[in-house]
Amino acid sequence: MNHKQEIVNTLQRMSGKYSIYEIFSDWIKCCALAISNQSDLFRDNEIWESREQEYLATIRKYPPEEAKEFTRMLAELAFALEDEITDVLGEVYMEADMGSKSTGQFFTPYHLSKMTAGVTIQADVSPAKPLILNEPSTGGGVMIIAAAEILRKRGLNHQRCMEVVAQDLDWKGVYMTYLQLSLLGIKAIVVQGNTLSEPFTDLRSYPKERVLLTPAQKGMLI
């Protein structure tokens, strides 16, 4: 089964009242917020409650039968990443014709990112000396995902050999990155903000509502 195509088909089938672009944006937001809150050990803080309310406000736009499609598409995404490490969401975005001048957003083809990653990752990466990535304009996380594939092809466990900080100004890029890195089990801090004017330095000094930690970063796997 082509899991990526199943996601594209579902988005197209759901479109009508809302555009494919809006449905896709709502889907990745709901999935990212759900994973973040489900992997939080402490649920009595303001950030957890704020994300829970944002999730509910978004999912309630859709009738129950359509909301179930969000869960099914998440399963398809997980299966796709299990079959092959690649930028599934970036490819879905482009194949569903969401990349255009009107949205102003395009995603780097995966093969180009993989080529770049292949020549920049040092040869001595190991669990004791992990690959440290700071991606200032992460998009959908394509460079990080490409690096994970390179490490796996070298016979390394990318879940034990990578530590990532990924930042993007656009929340959609943040959610796409967070979702894919979470499903791939990569330790990552994913941040919304302008890298030039608001570079991420540490968790203590950055606004908590604009930071998402993958389950692996919290010491958990999903």
DSSP 49-72: HHHHHHHHHHHTTS-HHHHHHHHH
> Does residue 222 surpass a pLDDT of 90?
no
pTM over 0.75: yes
Per-residue pLDDT tens digits for 3-35: 999 999 999 999 999 999 999 999 999 999 999
- Of the candidates 93, 76, 91, which has an alpha carbon nearest to the alpha carbon of residue 172? 93
Q: What is the mean pLDDT of residues 54-64?
A: 98
In the chain, the number of structural domains is: 1
Residue 92 falls within a domain, yes or no?
A: yes
- Which of 97-106, 159-168, 174-183 comes out lowest in average pLDDT? 97-106
pLDDT level of residue 102 (50, 70, 90 thresholds): very low
Domain that holds residue 169: 3-213
pLDDT level of residue 219 (50, 70, 90 thresholds): confident
- Site of tokens 């944006």: 25
Residue 62 falls within a domain, yes or no?
A: yes
Residue 155 falls within a domain, yes or no?
A: yes
Cα within 13 Å of Cα(140), Cβ side: 24
Please report, for residues 26, 92, 103, 207, the alpha-carbon distance to residue 7 in angstroms, rounded to integers and kept in the order given.
14, 7, 20, 33
Residue 42 falls within a domain, yes or no?
A: yes
pLDDT level of residue 45 (50, 70, 90 thresholds): confident
Question: Alpha carbon 164 to chain centroid distance?
Answer: 12
Q: How far apart are CA 111 and CA 94, in angstroms?
A: 14
Residue 219 falls within a domain, yes or no?
A: no
CB 166, CB 188: distance < 8 Å? yes
- Of the candidates 48, 25, 37, 40, which has an alpha carbon nearest to the alpha carbon of residue 140? 25
Within 10 A of 209 (CB to CB), how many other CB atoms are there? 11
Residue 220 falls within a domain, yes or no?
A: no
> Does residue 113 surpass a pLDDT of 70?
yes
Residue 202 falls within a domain, yes or no?
A: yes
> Does residue 101 surpass a pLDDT of 70?
no
Please report, for residues 92, 133, 136, 140, 150, the alpha-carbon distance to residue 109 in angstroms, rounded to integers and kept in the order given.
12, 19, 18, 11, 16
> Does residue 106 surpass a pLDDT of 80?
no
Residue 222 falls within a domain, yes or no?
A: no
